[in-house]
């Protein structure tokens, strides 16, 4: 996640409004299902069951458009579903080989398309991916106990997007979230309303939004220590979903139903210019759900 001191400094900016929260977090499950689609019907949704360390996809082929994705975490570790489009001529093996040389090297072969950010074991989350026809990878970047990424332990699957009647954008989002270099613009009412939020990347870099509820009695220092350790030790947060990475000028959507408490929104994508995580560069925003 980068240097602990730099991440701590970014979090310290938020500390004046930090307070212990209460409750638990649960994200609404997607109402429509793409599972069980017959061979002659192109799926318009994607359901992903995550275990340690494997993805089970409801379908290997979906229609183009703004496709809702439900992640159900049936493993014992936090997991995410990030969707990236392989550049023409690239393969999954090319990506995995490049990843061995570094995340930045692998990212040169793909384009961010959205997804579902981190959820805890036994919970679920719904995000969206904006998909054009092509070949995509479904990935989990989170660190395993040995320091390798979950995708290096098998949490990577291929997804084909075909030209079909495009899946439309969700109707009437309850709020809009903007992503900039380096911060989050939340709606005036925060994220207390349950429903679908539009997420727009207003910055010149790719961005994501991971949402975490801070446990009662835990401090910002506890959060920094946990993240810096590679998710080792006592977990002081509840991973509550969020939006996967999206390109500059593009939209994504995320379904949220957040329990009352104190939260942090963060972006952990790697900055091309500095090699630092965006959270280290200040892309950390605290907020309260009443």
Question: Do 205 and 260 lie in a common domain?
Answer: yes
Express each pLDDT in 152-208 by its tens digit: 999 999 999 999 999 999 999 999 999 999 999 999 989 999 999 999 999 999 999
Question: Do 16 and 127 lie in a common domain?
Answer: no
Distances (CA, A) of 120 to 33, 50, 76, 211: 22, 11, 8, 11
Supply the CATH number for residue 213's domain.
2.60.40
The domain of 284 spans: 4-26+171-289
Whether the pLDDT of residue 26 is over 90: the answer is: no
120 versus 31: the higher-pLDDT residue is 120
Predicted structure pTM score? 0.87
Number of domains in the chain: 2
Express each pLDDT in 42-100 by its tens digit: 999 999 999 999 999 999 999 999 999 999 999 999 999 999 999 999 999 999 999 99
Q: How far apart are the first and last CA of the chain?
A: 30
Question: Do 241 and 269 lie in a common domain?
Answer: yes
- The mean pLDDT of 124-147, rounded to a whole number, is 96
In a domain, 36, yes or no: no
Q: How confident is the model at residue 135 (pLDDT cuts 50, 70, 90)?
A: very high
Q: Is the peptide bond before 252 cis (omega within 30 degrees of 0)?
A: no
Question: Do 93 and 124 lie in a common domain?
Answer: yes
44's CB contacts (< 8 A; 6+ apart) are 32, 34, 62, 63, 65, 67, 167
In a domain, 142, yes or no: yes
Express each pLDDT in 193-250 by its tens digit: 999 999 999 999 999 999 999 999 998 889 988 988 888 889 999 999 999 999 999 9
């Amino acid at each position: 996640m980068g240097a602990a001191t730099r991440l701590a400094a970014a979090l310290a900016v938020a500390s004046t409004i930090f307070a212990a929260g209460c409750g638990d977090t649960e994200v609404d499950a997607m109402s429509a299902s793409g599972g069980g689609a017959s061979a002659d019907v192109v799926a318009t949704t994607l359901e992903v069951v995550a275990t340690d360390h494997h993805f089970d996809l409801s379908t290997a082929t979906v229609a183009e458009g703004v496709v809702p994705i439900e992640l159900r975490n049936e493993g014992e570790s936090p997991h995410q579903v990030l969707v990236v489009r392989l550049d023409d001529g690239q393969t999954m093996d090319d990506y995995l080989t490049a990843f061995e040389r570094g995340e930045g090297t692998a990212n040169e072969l793909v384009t961010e398309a959205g997804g579902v950010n981190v959820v805890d074991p036994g919970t679920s989350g719904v995000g969206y991916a904006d998909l054009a026809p092509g070949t995509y990878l479904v990935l989990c970047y989170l660190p395993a106990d040995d320091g390798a990424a979950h995708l290096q332990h098998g949490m990577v699957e291929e997804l084909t997007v075909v030209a079909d009647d495009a899946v439309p954008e969700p109707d009437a989002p309850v709020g809009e979230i903007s992503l900039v270099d380096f911060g989050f613009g939340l709606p005036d009412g925060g994220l207390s309303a349950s429903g679908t939020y539009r997420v727009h990347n207003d910055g010149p870099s790719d961005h994501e939004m991971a949402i975490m509820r801070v446990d009662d009695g835990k401090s910002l220092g506890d959060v920094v220590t946990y993240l810096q350790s590679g998710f080792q030790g006592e977990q002081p947060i509840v991973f509550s979903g969020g939006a996967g990475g999206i390109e500059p000028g593009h939209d994504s959507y995320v379904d949220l139903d957040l329990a009352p408490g104190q939260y942090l929104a963060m972006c952990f994508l790697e900055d091309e210019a500095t090699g630092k995580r965006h959270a280290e560069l200040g892309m950390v925003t605290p907020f309260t759900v009443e």
